[in-house]
């Protein structure tokens, strides 16, 4: 009895410790702070109060989105008294709780109700297997390496007439940044729509017969799991840094191309845009780049690569590392991006801006888009920032999943119909 009691006690203590580690955002608020043409005043406030930003100063925005804990609210309000502010989340903890009402997913029930809510990582893996079951002879579960903690980077590959690997590749990545949950759902919507509609929709059949699709809903599995168990707002992977107690590399600043160009990432391990100690030193980056390069170097080649992010409602082209450099195929990329942005607006009128990354949002070095464009030589390369523009930010209500997926699918259809 004594041994059993001690065992139960230790389990209880361990469970309590795990609960205590979870970041509680109850009472936190998220503000949008306007700064006009000079962000220095807001930057100084963020730095002096050690606040977290969701969206730092970016091109053509004139505002910063800031997370403020309860104990800093008074100081923040005093510091921003002369600035224009608006509230995005009155109680961030309550908004997160709404997102995390996952419900129960029953294996074998892949249908459109999946897109009514967010889901646990385990259920995402089950859903991918259920998608495979929709066309078992023309799809497979694939991996592109493993994460720091040993999780396979799991995706689904599917194809049409001609057999596996016989057509040019289309590759979609999402949840590169762990907190961007809407991208997981939207990317899965593409896979579900293409697989479920193959036998009933002639247009969808034509797309799947023309290309091999490789869709990876969660390319940062460790970070994604951490957002569900510990900190909903975690961004990076979970890799240790030898010189620091801070964890994680920004996988989208770690690709080994233009990795060390100044200004587009951070050398501080504690920063959310920490680039790592060397280009490509994150195992996730190694696995993903090897997979993309293998497809690009195949006889069929890499036709389209899109890296899906949130939020800001942007559809962007290379480059991130420079605001003056232009892709050799820039004119066609901009034409396609304009068409995609117009298509996004079709269902609900949602407006997306488009243009090169650096001049549209901010400088970003070591990004997947620049790497795939110039190293892998993918023909068409884009990155997107999905809903919204700041009403909800990263914590997008479940009611927004389906509209975001539907409007984004219209843009993807435009690309599939207009790429040469």
What is d(CA 245, CA 243) in angstroms, rounded to the nearest whole number?
7
Angle between helices 401-418 and 181-196 (to 10 degrees): 60
What is d(CA 361, CA 252) in angstroms, rounded to the nearest whole number?
15
| Residue environment code for 358-370, b if the CB has 16+ CB neighbours within 10 A, otherwise e | bbbbbbbbbbbbb
Question: Does 407 participate in catalysis according to the annotation?
Answer: no
**Going by DSSP bridges, is the β-strand pair 29-34/85-89 parallel, antiparallel, or unpaired?**
antiparallel
For the record, the structure tokens of 48 come out as 């002096």
- Residue from 180, 284, 385, 407 carrying the catalytic annotation: 385
What is d(CA 340, CA 173) in angstroms, rounded to the nearest whole number?
18
> What sign results for the dihedral spanned by CA atoms 105, 111, 114, 116?
negative
Tokens 């001609």 appear where? 162
What is d(CA 43, CA 47) in angstroms, rounded to the nearest whole number?
6
For the record, the structure tokens of 153 come out as 């980077």
For the record, the structure tokens of 135 come out as 């066309």
What is d(CA 13, CA 341) in angstroms, rounded to the nearest whole number?
52
What is d(CA 405, CA 416) in angstroms, rounded to the nearest whole number?
16
The set of residues, in sequence order, having a beta carbon less than 8 Å from that of 327 and lying 6+ positions away, is 317, 318, 319, 333, 356, 373, 381
CB 383 within 8 A of CB 307: yes
What is d(CA 313, CA 31) in angstroms, rounded to the nearest whole number?
19
CB 248 within 8 A of CB 276: no
What is d(CA 59, CA 145) in angstroms, rounded to the nearest whole number?
34
> What sign results for the dihedral spanned by CA atoms 104, 108, 109, 115?
positive
Residues known to be catalytic = 385
């Amino acid at each position: 009895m004594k041994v059993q009691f001690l065992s139960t006690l230790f389990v209880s203590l361990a469970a309590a410790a795990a609960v205590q580690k979870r970041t509680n955002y109850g009472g936190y608020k998220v503000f949008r702070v306007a700064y006009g043409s000079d962000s220095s005043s807001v930057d100084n406030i963020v730095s002096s109060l050690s606040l977290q930003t969701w969206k730092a100063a970016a091109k053509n925005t004139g505002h910063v989105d800031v997370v403020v804990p309860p104990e800093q609210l008074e100081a923040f309000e005093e510091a921003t008294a002369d600035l224009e502010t608006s509230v995005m989340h009155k109680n961030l903890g309550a908004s997160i709780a709404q997102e995390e009402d996952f419900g129960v997913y029953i294996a074998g029930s892949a249908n459109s109700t999946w897109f009514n809510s967010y889901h646990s990582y385990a259920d995402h893996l089950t859903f991918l297997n259920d998608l495979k079951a929709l066309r078992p002879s023309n799809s497979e579960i694939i991996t592109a390496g493993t994460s720091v903690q040993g999780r396979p980077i799991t995706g689904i590959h599917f194809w049409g007439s001609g057999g596996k690997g016989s057509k040019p590749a289309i590759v979609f990545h999402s949840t590169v940044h762990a907190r961007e949950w809407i991208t997981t759902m939207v990317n899965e919507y593409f896979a579900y729509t293409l697989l479920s509609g193959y036998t009933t929709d002639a247009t969808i059949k034509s797309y799947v017969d023309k290309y091999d699709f490789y869709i990876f809903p969660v390319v940062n599995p460790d970070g994604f799991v951490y957002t569900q168990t510990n900190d909903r707002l975690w961004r990076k992977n979970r890799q240790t840094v030898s010189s620091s107690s801070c964890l994680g590399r920004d996988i989208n600043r770690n690709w080994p191309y233009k990795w060390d160009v100044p200004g587009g990432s951070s050398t501080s391990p504690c920063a959310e845009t920490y680039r790592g100690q060397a280009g490509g030193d994150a195992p996730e980056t190694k696995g993903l780049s090897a997979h993309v390069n293998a497809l690009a170097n195949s006889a069929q080649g890499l036709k389209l690569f899109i890296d899906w992010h949130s939020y800001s409602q942007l559809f962007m082209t290379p480059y991130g590392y420079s605001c003056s450099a232009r892709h050799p195929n820039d004119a066609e990329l901009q034409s396609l991006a304009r068409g995609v942005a117009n298509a996004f607006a079709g269902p609900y009128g949602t407006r997306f801006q488009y243009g090169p990354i650096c001049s549209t949002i901010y400088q970003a070095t070591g990004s997947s888009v620049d790497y795939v464009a110039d190293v892998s030589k993918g023909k068409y390369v884009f990155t997107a920032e999905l809903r919204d523009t700041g009403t909800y930010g990263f914590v997008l209500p479940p009611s927004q999943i389906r509209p975001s997926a539907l409007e984004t699918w219209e843009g993807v259809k435009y690309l599939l119909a207009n790429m040469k």
